[in-house]
A and B are shown apart, each in its own frame.
Chain A
């Protein structure tokens, strides 16, 4: 085979790969939309799991994800600020960056086991706090990464201008640098929120699940994703339909937050 033929073959195969990739996306989304819409009714949103709806599950999942965000964002922001603005040793920051990336890729089920050992077992049972902590552990390294990258994009001149005005270092960071990086960091927070709200494995034995509406985080807490896993494996059609409705709504939430985050930074790329 001569090189022109080989070239054509490889280009055709590459194009086919992209078609296959997009094909699967369309297949999965079409299935979700078709099955999801036909299984979603108004009562799906007004009833709790015990009555065949997902109201308590949506509220529960959002509550845990929001609490995780409240824990993770300050920690991740501060860590990113240290790496980009304070660290004097490139070696130390490189190591801390790599460790943060390693933590980001740690298997989510292992994080669930870890949180179980620390926050479930000693406290007498599954609880919503433990679920939030597990999600926060997944979120922190993502926020560190975005903050670090976004602060790197802030022009050095802005910091110099702050110094020339006599600002102290932390004032410059808080009032000039963070403001300049605001949009990028917000996008990062939205994308990481979209990531953790769809997590199942870290919740299986931390928050577990609850059929009833509750805001009491010291007990088993309702989770949309854990419910999908349970419902989908029940043999009856009603449970499976509810699982499809829940999956559809979860995917819509994740994709909307994702696209919203991208929309914010649309001019930069």
Chain B
């Protein structure tokens, strides 16, 4: 009796993720109807975010925050991928064994620091340096992208390291015995062996960068304008939501839901790709 109940409750809990994901999609889709009907696909082209005169109607389009999200993510990935690979190689192939543990833990602690701390530190300490070096007013695409990179590096490095660590030592030893250098071993033995895990970690970090709110909110400038150079302020989907969602009404609110839906669908696709194709967790 009790056993059957226990089993059924555990089954229901296991299906919860499915229903919550489905629920998020349905709810966002439902509340985004208004904006979808009014703007259709033009929502992806309109570069305005202007409420109407008497709070009725208005013109709302997602292209600026969409471009802002993609550009900050791109800058972050360009910086974070090589540095994360470097850290993972350092931890698996170079570091003295007394160093592996503390450096590894330090990297993981860096991943545990809340994103709002990165944002605030970036605003007060990093933005002035960018302003000094590259001009502009400190906040903008470049600052947001770099701090975003600092935030996702520990995460990406930790997963890449774990993937690289699964390479059987005997494979590496054979290569070394043939006269391979450490880099040859990394390039021709470790990388091919851990390929799935490494690509998976990059895609997961990409998903995290796309959806990151707080670190970017402090640093992107939150201006609804296309950036004309890399130090210009602009905005991103999560930042627009964070700053304007609570005051929005009617068509503007519906447009916000549509932006949230776009972000959700894009990250769902990206993360599913990483999980289902590259990081087969089921094999364990």
Residues of A within 8 A of B (CB): 3-4, 6-7, 10-11, 13-18, 20-22, 24-25, 27-28, 31-32, 74-79, 81-83, 85-87, 90, 93-94, 96-103, 105-114, 116-118, 137, 140-141, 144, 149, 152, 168-171, 173-174, 191, 194-195, 198-201, 204-205, 208, 225, 228-229, 232-233, 240, 243-244, 247, 250-251, 254-255, 258-259, 262
Contact = CB atoms under 8 A, between A and B. Distances in A.
A100 B17 contact: yes
Given A102-B275, A107-B263, A114 B14 contact: no
B114 A103 contact: no
A28 B181 CA distance: 36
B110 A21 contact: yes
Given A107-B263, A140-B16, A255-B109, A21 B282 contact: no
A103 B21 contact: yes
Contact of B115 (A3, A11, A102, A200): A200
Nearest to A174: B6
Contacts of A90: 282
B151 to A, nearest CB: 10
Contacts of A87: 14
27 contacts: A4-B181, A11-B182, A16-B86, A18-B95, A21-B106, A25-B110, A28-B117, A78-B13, A79-B13, A82-B13, A97-B281, A98-B282, A102-B21, A105-B208, A105-B267, A107-B267, A108-B213, A109-B242, A110-B264, A118-B23, A170-B2, A170-B6, A201-B238, A204-B242, A229-B116, A243-B120, A251-B113
Interface string B86-115: 110111011100000001011101101111
A152 B11 CA distance: 18
Q: Is the interface of A mostly helix, strand, loop or mixed?
A: helix
Contacts of B83: 17, 20-21
A231 B17 CA distance: 35
Q: Which of A14, A116, A195 has most chain B Cβ within 10 Å?
A: A14
Q: Is the interface of B mostly helix, strand, loop or mixed?
A: helix
Contacts of A141: 17
B133 interface: no
B192 interface: no
Interface in B1-28: 2-3, 6-7, 9-18, 20-21, 23-24, 27-28
Among all A-B residue pairs, the 3 with the closest Cβ atoms: A107-B211, A17-B86, A198-B114
A102 B181 contact: no
Given A82-B7, A105-B204, A110-B28, 19 more contacts: A3-B181, A11-B182, A18-B90, A21-B83, A21-B106, A24-B150, A28-B118, A96-B18, A98-B272, A105-B207, A107-B263, A110-B211, A113-B241, A114-B24, A191-B112, A198-B117, A225-B116, A232-B123, A251-B113
A216 B98 CA distance: 51
Given A75-B16, A79-B14, A107-B267, A201 B90 contact: no
B27 A114 contact: yes
Q: Which of A99, A168, A259 has most chain B Cβ within 10 Å?
A: A99
Nearest to A78: B13
Q: Which of B105, B182, B183 has most chain A Cβ within 10 Å?
A: B183
Contact of A250 (B117, B154, B246): B117
A217 to B, nearest CB: 19
B13 A75 contact: yes
A170 B214 contact: no
Given A228-B116, A254-B114, A99 B21 contact: yes
B43 interface: no
A251 B110 CA distance: 11
B238 to A, nearest CB: 5
